[in-house]
Chain A
Amino acid sequence: SQTIHQWPATLVQPVGSPLSLECTVEGTSNPNLYWYRQAAGRGLQLLFYSIGIDQISSEVPQNLSASRPQDRQFILSSKKLLLSDSGFYLCAWSGTAEKLFFGSGTQLSVL
């Protein structure tokens, strides 16, 4: 069966520090991969999506970047975090079915 792993679960980082969040999917090949951000008490904002290795599209301009070095690995990065980068980050994947499968999320606090 397919599983998605996302880590870390929580992260506290100072302003200006770098960021790396990792997500991996098991049990499927060539998944579509997604990064979403959720502000406290709000809906989800699509940040990046990828349909294949090194094929990444950004939905909104921001301080973040994404990479997909392997088929089932999706990384969210920043060189210098801003206060506004705080939020709940969710990785997700989809296959031939049209629904998304989400990871457990990373709560990022930038102080």
Chain B
Amino acid sequence: SQQGEEDPQALSIQEGENATMNCSYKTSINNLQWYRQNSGRGLVHLILIRSNEREKHSGRLRVTLDTSKKSSSLLITASRAADTASYFCATVAYKTGANNLFFGTGTRLTVIP
């Protein structure tokens, strides 16, 4: 299976602290994406990193990718209570032209005000 695995499964931090979530995957990828899901809602795309990139930034988000270890990390700096959500990594498998994304099990982040 190409499905990723996030670590930790749950993370609780104080507002203002940094949150780091990790993702491991099994097969070669074209790109890896991170999504956020508020409870009971759809997922929202956060950031995409390609296999030839090692690090990418977007606002308070920093993503790293190590293809040799088949792992990625998502860092949220200066966390806010509004960052409370589940975060998923997803890897792309190309099949007949569709960009099929396979998702991990997610990290549930709680930011305490």
Contact = CB atoms under 8 A, between A and B. Distances in A.
Contacts, number: 67
A70 interface: no
Contact of A57 (B43, B95, B99, B103): B95
A6 to B, nearest CB: 8
B106 A43 contact: yes
Contacts of A6: 42
B22 to A, nearest CB: 15
A101 B33 CA distance: 12
Contact of B43 (A41, A46, A100): A100
A103 B33 CA distance: 18
Q: How many of chain B's residues touch chain A, expressed as a range? A: 20 to 34
Max chain A Cβ within 10 angstroms of own Cβ: one of B100, B102, B104 = B100
A71 to B, nearest CB: 15
Contacts of B43: 44, 90, 92, 100, 102
B105 to A, nearest CB: 4
Interface residues of A, number: 27
A105 B44 CA distance: 12
Given A43-B3, A49-B98, A98 B92 contact: yes
Nearest to A98: B99
Interface string A6-19: 10000000000000
B93 to A, nearest CB: 9
Given A100-B43, A102-B43, A43 B88 contact: yes
B48 interface: yes
A14 B102 CA distance: 30
A34 to B, nearest CB: 8
A43 B42 contact: no
